[in-house]
Amino acid sequence: MNRTALLAALPLAFAVPAWGQEEAEPVTPASIVAASAPEEWVEIDPDHILVMRLADNGSDAPRDVVIQLLPEPFSQPWVENIRTLARAHWWDGTSVYRVVDNWVAQWGGGDPELDMDPGPMPDGVLDTQGLAYPSTASDLHRPLVEEYLQNAFEGIVDSRIAWLDGHAGFPRTGYYADLEVWVDGWPISAGDGGETVWPVHCYAHVGVARDLAPDTGTGSELYAVIGHAPRQLDRNIAVVGRVIEGIEHLSTLPRGTGDAGVYEDRAEDTPIEWVRLASDVEESEHWRYEYLDTTSDSFAAYVANRANRHDAFYEVPAGGVDICNVQVPIRQIPAE
């Protein structure tokens, strides 16, 4: 008996709820986020939000790239330099000058080999030479990381652990670390039994461009990842943030055809109108965002679902997920 005949044989009053049950919505990452409680969201400090406005290219909307800066204890000397440079309007008039497919889009200035010089560094820029990228786990992180490690080694599955490095005899320590977790809304790796933690490179994450090691860069030249997570850069370069809105304004730019993907001619660059901390932008209330607390039950359900998609589209649950395939939900807070 097909459905049409079944419905035809039933009075509408019965047919509708029956139909409704058959059509029950499957649980998806989106439905979990939609069902989350308001108190599970955390507002991002406006001093942690950087807005970069690219020059108008004739599109009807401004091309704004919104970057969330990395919180303590990670990369703070570089993050401080970025705040100093933004407050000095140092990036205004610089450009996006390098774009490499499946790699990075890079901007800023000060490279003597490029025909653009925004002038000397403003006062207050810190000397970052010789600083290390990983951090000693702070008191903030250690209890959480240790709990995760404990659970992991006991084989207790906590879906807020992305994945654990594991196979004895396999030389993976370091890359996948002891484990990878989310702390304060950010994906991080933890090594040395949880004593050392460092931020990772995922799609749209922002890092500090630098010359050859041991140079560490000042923060005046930055890049955003526009391809598969280049995890080999972890601990080799300072991660300082992630693009939370407008990454497409960088990922769609023409790829550079010069050395290392630098545009051959400065005329190919995309000019940057200005870069400001959200707290310094007019109508700053427009630039308010919140993220789903990564210790919340909704986030745990969100990760578990991403690791085991099984709905109208997915027939075979993966049974696991790469930490870079779990974008932490971030949304704009509507202006009152």
Identify the CA nearest to 56 among candidates 271, 244, 286.
271
Which positions ≥6 away from 1 have C-beta within 8 Å? none
Minimum CB–partner distance for residue 25 and its own copies (Å): 13
Q: Nearer Cβ to its own copies, position 199 or 230? A: 230
Q: Nearer Cβ to its own copies, position 146 or 322? A: 322
Please compute Rg for the chain using Cα positions.
23
* Interface with its own copies: number of residues (CB under 8 A): 59
Q: Is 307 in the site for its own copies (CB under 8 A)?
A: yes
User: CB of 103 within 8 A of CB of 120?
Assistant: no
Minimum CB–partner distance for residue 248 and its own copies (Å): 5
Q: Nearer Cβ to its own copies, position 86 or 152? A: 152
Q: Is 244 in the site for its own copies (CB under 8 A)?
A: no
Q: Nearer Cβ to its own copies, position 40 or 234? A: 234
Q: Is 108 in the site for its own copies (CB under 8 A)?
A: no
Q: Is 175 in the site for its own copies (CB under 8 A)?
A: yes
Query: Could you tell me the two tokens for 130?
Result: 């010789």
Which part of the chain contacts its own copies (CB under 8 A), choosing from 5-13, 116-124, 167-175, 286-294? 167-175
Minimum CB–partner distance for residue 102 and its own copies (Å): 5
Q: Nearer Cβ to its own copies, position 120 or 171? A: 171
Minimum CB–partner distance for residue 12 and its own copies (Å): 26
- Residue 232 burial by CB count (10 A; 0-12/13-18/19+): exposed, middle or buried? exposed
Strands 270-277, 95-99: parallel, antiparallel or unpaired by DSSP?
antiparallel
Tally Cβ neighbours within 10 Å of residue 114. 18
Strands 49-54, 41-43: parallel, antiparallel or unpaired by DSSP?
unpaired
Q: Is 229 in the site for its own copies (CB under 8 A)?
A: yes
Q: Nearer Cβ to its own copies, position 162 or 281? A: 162
The half-sphere exposure of 44 on its side-chain side, counting CA atoms within 13 A, is 33
Distance CA 156, CA 279 (A): 42
Distances (CA, A) of 249 to 227, 228, 270, 294: 14, 17, 10, 28
Q: Is 325 in the site for its own copies (CB under 8 A)?
A: yes
Contact residue for its own copies among 213, 260, 267, 335 (CB under 8 A): 213
Distance CA 223, CA 221 (A): 7
Contact positions vs its own copies (CB under 8 A):
101-102, 152, 154-157, 163-176, 202-204, 212-214, 227-232, 234-236, 247-248, 251-255, 306-307, 309, 312-322, 324-325
